[in-house]
Amino acid sequence: MSRRPESRGARTDAPPAAPAAEPRSWVPRYLCNVLLWLLPVWAAWALATPAYNGFLLASGANLLHLTERPAVTIFHRLDADDAGVERRDFPPGRALAGSFRVTDLHFHLVLLAALFLAVPGISWRRRLENLGWAVLATVFFDIFLVFLYVKFLYATQLGTWSLAHYGALARNVYGLGKHLLDLPYKLGLPFALWAGFYLHLVGRGVSAAAAADR
Amino acid sequence: MAKKRAPLTAPPPPAAEPGPGWWRRYRREIRFLALFLLLLGAGFALVSLQWVNDHAVEPFTAGIARASGAALDLLGQHTTLQGTVIRSPRFTVNIRNGCNGVETMLIFLAAVLAFPATWRARLLGLGLGIAAIQVVNLVRVVALFLTGAYLPRLFDASHTVIWQTLVVLFGVLVWIYWANRFAADGEPAA
Does residue B8 lie in a domain region? no
- Is the predicted pLDDT of residue B11 greater than 50, yes or no? no
CA angle, residues A131, B178, B115, in degrees to nearest 5? 70
Does residue B100 lie in a domain region? yes
Question: What total number of domains does chain B contain?
Answer: 1
Contacts of B175 in chain A (CB under 8 A): 191
Of B36, B160, B177, nearest to A107 by CB-CB distance is B160
Structure pTM?
Answer: 0.83
Segment A196-213, tens digit of pLDDT: 999 988 876 555 555 655
Does residue B23 lie in a domain region? no
Does residue B109 lie in a domain region? yes
Tens place of pLDDT per residue across chain A (214 aa): 334 444 433 334 444 444 444 445 788 889 999 999 999 999 999 999 999 999 999 999 999 999 988 999 999 999 888 999 999 888 887 778 889 999 999 999 999 999 999 998 889 999 999 999 999 999 999 999 999 999 999 999 999 999 999 999 999 999 989 988 988 899 999 999 999 999 988 876 555 555 655 5
Segment B118-133, tens digit of pLDDT: 999 999 999 999 999 9
* Residue in chain B nearest A26 by alpha carbon: B180
CA atoms within 13 A on the CB side of B16: 11
Does residue B19 lie in a domain region? no
Does residue B111 lie in a domain region? yes
Of B45, B107, B173, nearest to A31 by CB-CB distance is B173
Segment A9-44, tens digit of pLDDT: 333 444 444 444 444 578 888 999 999 999 999 999
Contacts of B161 in chain A (CB under 8 A): 103-104, 107, 110
Does residue B61 lie in a domain region? yes
Coil, helix or strand at residue A73: strand
Does residue B188 lie in a domain region? no
Backbone angles phi, psi at B189, to 5 degrees: -75, 155
Whether the CB of A184 is below 8 Å from some CB of chain B: the reply is yes
Q: Give the pLDDT of residue A205.
A: 55
Instruction: Judge whether B107 and B40 are in contact, CB under 8 Å.
Output: yes
State the residue range of the domain holding B101: 28-183
For the beta sheet containing B80-82, the strands, ordered from the edge strand earlier in sequence to the opposite edge, are B80-82, B85-87, B92-94
Q: Give the pLDDT of residue B5.
A: 45
Nearest-CA neighbor of B165 among B115, B68, B98, B69?
Answer: B98
Q: Give the pLDDT of residue A66.
A: 94
For residues A185, A188, A189 and A191, what is the CA-based torsion angle, rounded to 10 degrees? -170
